[in-house]
Amino acid sequence: MIKVFCFAIEEEKPIQEELVLDGENFYVSPNVLMFPTKPEPTPTLTRETVKPSLFTISQLGRLMNVFRIIAPSGTLPERSLVYVLQDMISYNKEEEDGFGSMLVPTCWQLLRSCDVSKLVENIFGRCEYVDWREFLIYAMDLPTATQEDILSARNRFRTLDSELQETVTKDQYRFVPLWFFKYTDDISSDVEHILFDDFQRTFEELFAEEKDFVNPEKLLGTIIPEKAMDYVRSLRINRGINDDVLLEDEEEKIMVQRDAEEALRLMLAKELLCQMYLIDRYSVNYTALLLAFCKDEDPRVGLGKALSLAIGTEVCTDFEEGEKYVEKILEEKRYIAQLESTRQLLREEAIQVAKEITNFLVESAVAGVTITEETNEYTLPRRLIIQKIDGSGEIDISELLHGIPNMEQIFDSTVDKSNDLRTSSSIITLESYQEFEERIERGPVYWLPFHVCMAVLSATLPWHASQPDLFQTKKSLRQLLRDVYDDLYDEELSNDKDLVLSHRFLNHDFVTELLESTSKFVVKHLGNLLSEIITEERERNL
């Protein structure tokens, strides 16, 4: 009995079963409970956060379904995108019956028709055709991916793509962690139903014809796994929001609810990307998906991400770092040339020393000897011998040279001394430049092949690639790219005209003009663009 009470006190747990002490007998009655069992807490159901200027993922899912009908390939005229957005804004203004029927955020109702055209132009620039998937990605407001993020995701997908078809199944995709949502446990095909089941609306917000086909339980929200909550909580801590601060119960509930809403949004965003880049009912084109995230505030860095995705290795985009690499190459090539020159000089000096030694030995020979050459018609090599006149014997010249280093030994020892003058940090000795090049390129890639650049630009800028007279030059993109390679060719660095340095390529005048003509590689913040247009309109009306 003492042990039972001791255990309950130490563990701070109440004893629910009846304890009976009958004389000297003590026993526990498990069938008699002294107080009712505390019911398990009802799991919290989560719905997406509704913000005035931010699309919910469910809204973007509806937009995707509309755009898929209009342009299944992903590309549609810029005017068509403007008209669709204008129609959805008009629909919002007419209905105004709650979130359920809202196809765009409430702030979009402040936009006029001309403002929508301006917004689309600010996003895509002045172009005839746009990719509606790019618009949805901007509207998701996901974190920007780095080169490392892109390559890490690429490698994970390729381990599942044994045939290297650049596709994976939907289930495989769901279990691959991405930079914005690395949680993959307990993720199944149910997430697809969560995305497309309209659980964001209450039963009262449904249309009359919808109420007969919808399960009311699905309208209450969804349950977020605890591990997903832990992952989002770690993201919050990494952003500098201290989780160790003591909060009131109500504040704690609010914080937990925000974590659940954030986890739900990221989970649905990942699933929406899966649906956007399906090539059939079961396969996802992961290369096209990752290529869409090759963006940065600096478009040259964004293009560098696309090139690194194609090559499979990090590409140097920093000009200063690239020029340091060039200087290193030139320094090593100068050292190799100097070493070859020293080697040739030492070879000539060794030959001269050998001649002087031979002449010295001949002049110092015993007086009164004759030198003859013994020729053997069956032996190709000839041996130089010295024969005494008195016939007492022969002297082999190799015996006289015994103990004197030969020419190769003289040369090798001299080269060793020359190498000692080189600092211990030297990368190469007598290795070829090609071997040196291969070794240092195990880090970032500094050289871009022509066919890789052409493939990336054709995939990311199809309109530019199809123009026979790009930028009024009467040349196509391939011809202009060839001109860039010819312009950047440096025979001092490479003999291959199909290779250029990546940092020089990204800073070339033509590439700069090309990047200025498109927003494909630029990060766009849709909320900021919308706020600027609304602010301008308000100031105009004051």
Lowest mean pLDDT among 304-313, 412-421, 438-447: 412-421
Q: Is the pLDDT of residue 258 over 80?
A: no
pLDDT bucket at 204, cuts 50 / 70 / 90: low
Q: Look at residue 90 in the predicted model and tell me its pLDDT.
A: 85
Residue 28: domain span? 1-33
Mean pLDDT value across residues 97-113? 75
Q: Look at residue 426 in the predicted model and tell me its pLDDT.
A: 34
Contact between 108 and 530 under an 8 Å Cβ cutoff? The reply is yes
Contact between 328 and 334 under an 8 Å Cβ cutoff? The reply is no
| DSSP for residue 432 | -
Q: Look at residue 98 in the predicted model and tell me its pLDDT.
A: 46
Could you tell me which of 85, 89, 139, 88 has the C-alpha nearest to residue 109? 89
Q: Look at residue 450 in the predicted model and tell me its pLDDT.
A: 97
CB count, 10 Å around CB of 331? 11
In terms of average pLDDT, the best of 96-100, 372-376, 435-439 is 372-376
Mean pLDDT value across residues 277-296? 95
Contact between 312 and 151 under an 8 Å Cβ cutoff? The reply is yes
Query: If you search the block for the tokens 């030297």, which residue do you land on?
Result: 426
Residues 6+ apart with CB under 8 A from 370: 387, 389
Q: Look at residue 537 in the predicted model and tell me its pLDDT.
A: 83
Could you tell me which of 348, 73, 46 has the C-alpha nearest to residue 200? 46
Domain presence at residue 91: no
Give the DSSP H or E segment for 290. helix 286-292
Distance from C-alpha of 192 to C-alpha of 311, rounded to nearest angstrom: 33
pLDDT bucket at 247, cuts 50 / 70 / 90: very low
Distance from C-alpha of 251 to C-alpha of 258, rounded to nearest angstrom: 11
Q: Is the pLDDT of residue 437 over 70?
A: no
- Summarised one tens digit per residue, pLDDT across range 465-494 is 999 999 999 999 999 999 999 999 998 898
Lowest mean pLDDT among 377-381, 447-451, 501-505: 377-381
User: What's the gap between Cα 28 and its chain centre?
Assistant: 63
User: What's the gap between Cα 86 and its chain centre?
Assistant: 35
Domain presence at residue 334: yes
Torsion, Cα 478 483 487 488, to 10 degrees, reads 0
Q: Is the pLDDT of residue 244 over 50?
A: no
Q: Look at residue 67 in the predicted model and tell me its pLDDT.
A: 94
pLDDT bucket at 428, cuts 50 / 70 / 90: very low
Give the CA radius of gyration of the chain: 39
Q: Look at residue 23 in the predicted model and tell me its pLDDT.
A: 80
Mean pLDDT value across residues 300-320? 96
Q: Look at residue 38 in the predicted model and tell me its pLDDT.
A: 74
Collapse the DSSP code of 431 into the 3-class scheme (helix H, G, I; strand E, B; otherwise coil) and give the result: coil
Collapse the DSSP code of 130 into the 3-class scheme (helix H, G, I; strand E, B; otherwise coil) and give the result: strand
Domain presence at residue 128: no
Q: Look at residue 139 in the predicted model and tell me its pLDDT.
A: 94
Q: Look at residue 262 in the predicted model and tell me its pLDDT.
A: 83
pLDDT bucket at 373, cuts 50 / 70 / 90: low
Domain presence at residue 455: yes
The percentage of the chain sitting over the pLDDT mark of 90, rounded to a whole number, equals 45
Q: Look at residue 401 in the predicted model and tell me its pLDDT.
A: 45
Domain presence at residue 193: no
pLDDT bucket at 233, cuts 50 / 70 / 90: low
Supply the mean pLDDT for the chain.
79
Domain presence at residue 221: no
Q: Is the pLDDT of residue 92 over 80?
A: no
Q: Look at residue 118 in the predicted model and tell me its pLDDT.
A: 94
Distance from C-alpha of 76 to C-alpha of 128, rounded to nearest angstrom: 9
Domain presence at residue 267: no
Contact between 231 and 97 under an 8 Å Cβ cutoff? The reply is no
| DSSP for residue 178 | B
Instruction: Write down the H helix ranges in 366-520.
Output: 397-400, 407-420, 433-440, 450-460, 462-466, 477-488, 502-506, 509-516
In terms of average pLDDT, the best of 98-102, 383-387, 512-516 is 512-516
pLDDT bucket at 246, cuts 50 / 70 / 90: very low
Q: Look at residue 243 in the predicted model and tell me its pLDDT.
A: 47
Lowest mean pLDDT among 23-27, 97-101, 295-299, 445-449: 97-101
Domain presence at residue 318: yes
Domain count, the chain: 2
Single-letter code of the amino acid located at 208: A
Q: Look at residue 308 in the predicted model and tell me its pLDDT.
A: 96
- Summarised one tens digit per residue, pLDDT across range 155-197 is 999 999 999 999 999 989 989 999 998 877 655 556 776 777 5
Q: Is the pLDDT of residue 53 over 60?
A: yes
Separation in Å, CA 64 to CA 134, 169, 230, 273: 11, 20, 30, 10
Mean pLDDT value across residues 38-61? 78
Query: If you search the block for the tokens 């304890």, which residue do you land on?
Result: 19
Mean pLDDT value across residues 249-267? 73
